[in-house]
Structure 1
Amino acid sequence: MVMMAKGRRMGWIGWTVTVLLLLAAALFAGWRYAHAAGAVGLLDLADRTVGGTDGTQIAATGLRYGPVPAQRLDIVAPSTPGPHPVLIFVHGGSWNSGRPEDYHFVGRTFARAGYVVVLPGYRLGPDGVYPHMLEDAAMAVAWTAQNIARFGGDPDKVVLMGHSAGAHTVAMLGLERQWLGRQGLPDHFVKGVVGLSGPYDFYPFTSDSARQAFGHVADPKLTQPITFARGDAPPMLLLTGDADTTVKPRNSKVLAKALTERGGRAELVILPGVDHAGPVLKLAQPFARDTSVSAPVQAFLGSLQQSSAPVQAAAE
């Protein structure tokens, strides 16, 4: 009877493991479909269902930072009082798709780590051609500087982060001074930049989306972050998967090399076996148990907070 009981327990454990594996596989397949179909909201639903919302709050949705309908943003914040450092996450989508509300899972992940997360939308598709995506993102950063204290954020501790097309945008804002400068923001207002699966050196344009967004520019080099690599740029973390066939890992490699050769700080993380969507996928439950993305990002963000502390103390 003891052997039978043990056998039943082992059978139950095996059945449970099988169900969990099938659930994970189904969620993974659902994410693939959602990403391909532009329905990333399904991933947000899975994250909210599996991981819950404890420790976080949706502080605002659909706030306008400009007159164009696409110029709106959501804010996800810790449920504890601030001031908290601020992370502005710009979503990807090949410059023609994506909605800030679908990326609340990114907000929850970093709100639990103590960050107020701003999720801006921006012009897409026919209206989302260069330089509109950069102008919109710069406006969102300026709005954040002026308003984020009302939502528990510290406007003196702002970091930019983006995935894919969004990584291109945040890299450009960090490297080419004119975009934030036009908004009246001082140099070094942005304390750091995190790029996930980003295109930084992708001319000549080989995809329809890149040609649509940048093909009209007389000097295409002006659309490339690599052109503006400089030693006094904000510190950058460039994270990519070595199985990314959408945006080749060489983009992150060459930008990191260009920045460090000029005396800047750039950290490069290459994830084995991870494809284009993988880095953002690993920020959602249940996949966030794999900390290969969240751990280096949080370590990088933490290092920025530490490096800014002596400057703040001196200013006080």
Structure 2
Amino acid sequence: MPRRSLLAMLPALLTACSGVDLLNATVATDSYRRTEGLAYGEHARQRLDVYQPKDPVSNAPLVVFFYGGSWSSGERADYRFVGEALASRGIVTVIADYRLSPAFRYPAFVQDSAGAVRWAFDHAADYGASPARLFVMGHSAGAYNAAMVALDARWLAARGLQPSRLAGWIGLAGPYDFLPIVDAQTRVAFDWPATPADSQPLSHASRASPPALLLAPVKDSSVNPQRSTVAMARRLKAQGVRVESELFDGVGHVSLLAAMASVLRSRAPVLARVTAFVQAAG
């Protein structure tokens, strides 16, 4: 398929599995090394892949990435374009699966996210990364997971770590304040209306929070960027936390993340912003 035709089709297809496959088909295969299917727990969903820069590195930054899907869908293999993008910039990247609704409810997916971070912290040196340069990152529901791990000390504390060990966290189009819940899938995942008030990341923003990079579309039909991204940035800044934030035109909820792939990188400088933040904060 001609490259121009592929570019024209991608925006319309990105919300479907075929779109993810098409996007991953454009990803270089010679810019990273991948180790697949590593266990960070006993459940079948507690597995992760590690993406390393092609050339050996030492003391590299390490990003643990969580994908979205309303806490009810998603596979780590679908996000090879994220692993390749970051690894090609010298960042060791972990992409983790986690337990999903409806079989599991909050806080199972947050507990799993903390477990994946603990694994990354323990094994960083094995892959040329430094545990002192550890970041959590997520998109959509995955950004919620990353925020909870970074802001609510309960989850890492259960794994023998503290959020202060994180060099920073990165949220892409994340939902950080969404009570009362109106989305049907989210209601199931959070057992609405019995959802605890402290399930909301915004309520955990404090002066102890790690530095943050918060990016979102200007217009997002899935997550209100003003209520979540803008409000989170404002709350953290008020607490004296170093925050970088930006809302982008020309992308939507899904294409914000897809802009990390080389064929869509001109739509928004998401990869450039993430790379600069990681290199500076680390």
Between 1 and 2, higher relative CO (CA 8 Å, sep ≥ 6) is seen in 2
Note the C-alpha offset of 1:264.
1.4
Aligned residues of 1:282 and 1:291 also touching (Cα < 8 A): yes
Deviation, 1:43, is: 2.3
Task: Give the CA deviation at 1:55.
Answer: 2.6
- What per-residue deviation string (whole Å, max 9, x for no partner) do you get for residues 230-278 of structure 1? 0120001110001211001111011111111121122211001321112
Find the counterpart in structure 1 of residue 81 from structure 2: 105
Query: Which residue in 2 is equivalent to 1:258?
Result: 235
SS of residue paired to 2:16: helix
| Cα pair 2:10 2:22 within 8 Å, conserved | no
Query: Residues 12-51 of structure 1 correspond to what in structure 2 (within 5 A)?
Result: 20-34=3-17, 40-45=20-25, 47-48=26-27
Q: Which residue number corresponds to residue 177 of structure 2?
A: 201
Structure 1 residues 21 and 187: CA distance shift in structure 2, 3 A: closer
After TM superposition, the score normalised by the length of structure 1 is: 0.84
Aligned counterpart, 2:68: 92
Q: 1:108 to 1:129 in 2, by over 3 A?
A: same
Q: Which range moves more in the overlay, 197-206 or 295-304?
A: 295-304
What is the alpha-carbon root mean square deviation over aligned residues?
1.7
**2: CA distance, partners of 1:71 / 1:157:** 23
Moved over 4 A (4+): none
Match of 2:38?
63
Choose which of 48, 51, 63 in structure 2 pairs with 1:73. 48
Q: CA deviation at 1:287?
A: 0.6
Structure with more helix by fraction: 1
Instruction: Give the superposition deviation at 1:20.
Output: 4.5
What CA distance in whole angstroms lies between the structure 2 residues aligned with 1:40 and 1:221?
Answer: 34
In 2, distance between residues paired with 1:30 and 1:100? Answer: 19
Question: How do 1:3-18 residues align onto structure 2 when only pairs under 5 Å count?
Answer: none
CA distance in 2, matches of 1:241, 1:30: 18
Q: Give 1:264-275 correspondences, 5 Å limit.
A: 264-275=241-252
Gaps of 5+ in 1: 1-18, 306-316
Matched with 1:158 is: 134
Assess if the C-alpha contact under 8 Å between 1:73 and 1:119 holds in 2: yes
| Partner of residue 169, structure 1 | 145
Q: Work out whether residues 232 and 263 of structure 1, in 8 Å CA contact, stay in contact via their aligned partners in 2.
A: no
State the SS of the aligned residue for 1:125.
coil
Task: Tell me which amino acid in the other structure corresponds to 1:61.
Answer: E
Judging changes above 3 Å, is the alpha-carbon distance between structure 1 residues 191 and 117 closer, same or farther for their aligned structure 2 residues? same
Check conservation: 1:231, 1:265, Cα contact below 8 A.
no
Q: Is the 8 A contact 2:85 2:261 kept in 1?
A: yes
| Residue type of the alignment partner of 1:69 | A
Q: How many residues align?
A: 279
Question: What corresponds to 1:223 in structure 2?
Answer: 199
2:273 to 273, 288, 296: 296
> Does the CA contact (< 8 Å) of 2:251 and 2:267 recur in 1?
no
